[in-house]
Amino acid sequence: MAAPFLLTTELDNIGIVTLNKAHKRNALDEDAIAEIDAYFSNIPEHIRVILMKAEGDHFCAGLDLKEHHDKERGAVDFLRVCQSWHRAFDKIEHGGIPVIACLQGAVVGGGLELASAAHIRVADSSTFFALPEGTRGIFTGGGATVRTAKIISPNRMIELMLTGRVLDAVEGERLGLAHYVCNNEANPKTAYELSLELAQRIAGNAILSNYAIVSSISRIADMSATDGLFAEGLMAAVVQTGRDVQERLGEFVNKKAHKVKPTK
């Protein structure tokens, strides 16, 4: 039997998911997408945050080009492949649980589509981003036109795809593809250390706040202003009357809560 594509483990209430096909640079074949879908469809109830990382020097080389070449898929077959990616990645983005992607090396093509579905991206300084589809005679099919374009703008995505330009970690951070770059002078932590630190911090938030943050903000961005304000109000009405709220706000009222302060 083939080794699983995903290794899954837990650290307290943090789910740790590892792409485990380093010898193929974690390229995504049909089985890999099915495993991602299965994990994110059945997140154990006690898991508050998910940290997604990868074995080897590269996070993910995108679509398994060998499988695609060998299968000689027709248009309908590949439409179904794309829809399976869309379903799986939608569960990452809209599963209600914050997902942190810990990146290194290649985050390219479908690998960037996968990372774009996560809520926070922490990059090792070795990370590079690209959408090489345009220069390989193919097109994105795992959600980049929606998610990656939303992050960097459609216009920047067009330029990256037409030219095949490769962005390093710092250029990626500037465009929003990474929120943090690690392993450099400014931030000597490893990407994994920082990802775990962020995961632990986020796991301490109220469950309902985390749910609202990861479920509603990107959806509201797709709405008209009128609908968005209404949806925001509804979401806030649910969260602000949640179970933890009295206790947490009580800590502030009784001067026991942390204050908001600059970190530097």
Site residues for ligand 1HE per CB under 6 A = 24-25, 27, 58, 61-66, 82, 85, 106, 108-110, 132-133, 136, 138, 140-142
Nearest residue to 109 via CA among 145, 80, 73, 75: 145
Candidates 116, 57, 102; CA nearest to 194 is 102
Nearest-5° Cα angle at 126, 26 to 157:
75
Shortest Å, Cβ 121 to ligand 1HE: 17
Catalytic residue selected from 10, 30, 55, 133: 133
Q: Shortest gap between Cβ of 54 and ligand 1HE (angstroms)?
A: 11
Question: Residue 11 CA to chain centroid, in angstroms?
Answer: 19
Question: Would you call 65 helix, strand, or coil by DSSP?
Answer: helix
Compute the least distance from the CB of residue 144 to ligand 1HE, in Å.
8
Specify the pairing of strand 180-182 against strand 120-124.
parallel
Catalytic entry in 113, 185, 232, 247: 113
Reply yes or no on whether 113 is catalytic.
yes
* Residue 220: both structure tokens together: 């509201």
Q: Which is nearer to ligand 1HE, 95 or 109 (CB)?
A: 109
72 is catalytic: no
Nearer to ligand 1HE, 62 or 95 (CB): 62
Catalytic residues: 113, 133
